[in-house]
Amino acid sequence: MPKIVDPEARRRAVADAVFRVARRDGLENASLRNVAQEAGLAVGSVRHYFADHSDLMLFAMRELARRVEGRVRDHAERLLATPPAEGRGDRAVLVEELLAEFLPLDQARHDEAVLWLAFCTAARVRPELRPSADRIHTGMRELIERVLHEGRSAGGFPEHLDVPTEALRLLALLDGLTLTSILHPDRLPADDMRRVLRLHLRSLRGTKD
């Protein structure tokens, strides 16, 4: 009896091979042949699921974003389910945990950050990747704006908070911490990144505790 293959599961398995090759050898070495070898497949099998190398790279980029967005969505749902008046302290913790998903605080998130930086760098010179990079970056900014807006409405941030500007400032902070951690991991451990994020959120709330 022929083996039944789930096409979507196979595509994601190939994306995992892209991630492994990119982490080990750089995204520029994630050719169809190298990825197929990493996945234990023939090149023809990879071509069965992806039209060409650009199609594979675009899928892998979107798959990486999908995994991060799934975790962020879980945090957002818990945050929205927390009553504003009854759980202000809990909401502050949930806001921090949601935003922390964008920081390389453990090995899994560090690997994702390395990959994401590689894809965004490639998108600078590969037009087919640029729309996805722009869309995901815009989505991240809009999410941060929503978190700050909801926090202001719930009383967690002052009424005069300039949400669009503070969202850009927070996005720049997260990007800067991530980039520094990737380039100089020994100089910026996870505890320091958490402390900086926590202090920034406290400054937005106007508190020191």
Assess whether pLDDT exceeds 70 at residue 2.
Answer: no
Convert the pLDDT of each residue in 148-181 to its tens digit: 998 898 888 999 999 999 999 999 999 999 999 9
Give yes or no: residues 140 and 166 share one domain: yes
Q: Are residues 29 and 85 in the same domain?
A: no
Same domain for 109 and 34, yes or no, is no
- Binned at pLDDT 50, 70 and 90, residue 78 comes out as confident
User: Averaged over 10-36, what is the pLDDT?
Assistant: 96
Residue 55 lies in a domain: no
pLDDT at residue 209 in the model: 54
CATH for 104: 1.10.357.10
CB 183 within 8 A of CB 192: no
| 68 and 164 together in one domain | yes
- The domain tally of the chain equals 2
- Kindly state whether residue 58 falls inside one of the protein's structural domains: no
Exposure of 21 by Cβ count < 10 A (0-12 exposed, 13-18 middle, 19+ buried)?
buried
Residue ranges making up the domain that contains 34: 1-50
Residues 143 and 190 in one domain: yes
pLDDT > 90 fraction of the chain, expressed in percent and rounded: 78
- Alpha carbons 19 and 114: distance in angstroms, whole number: 10
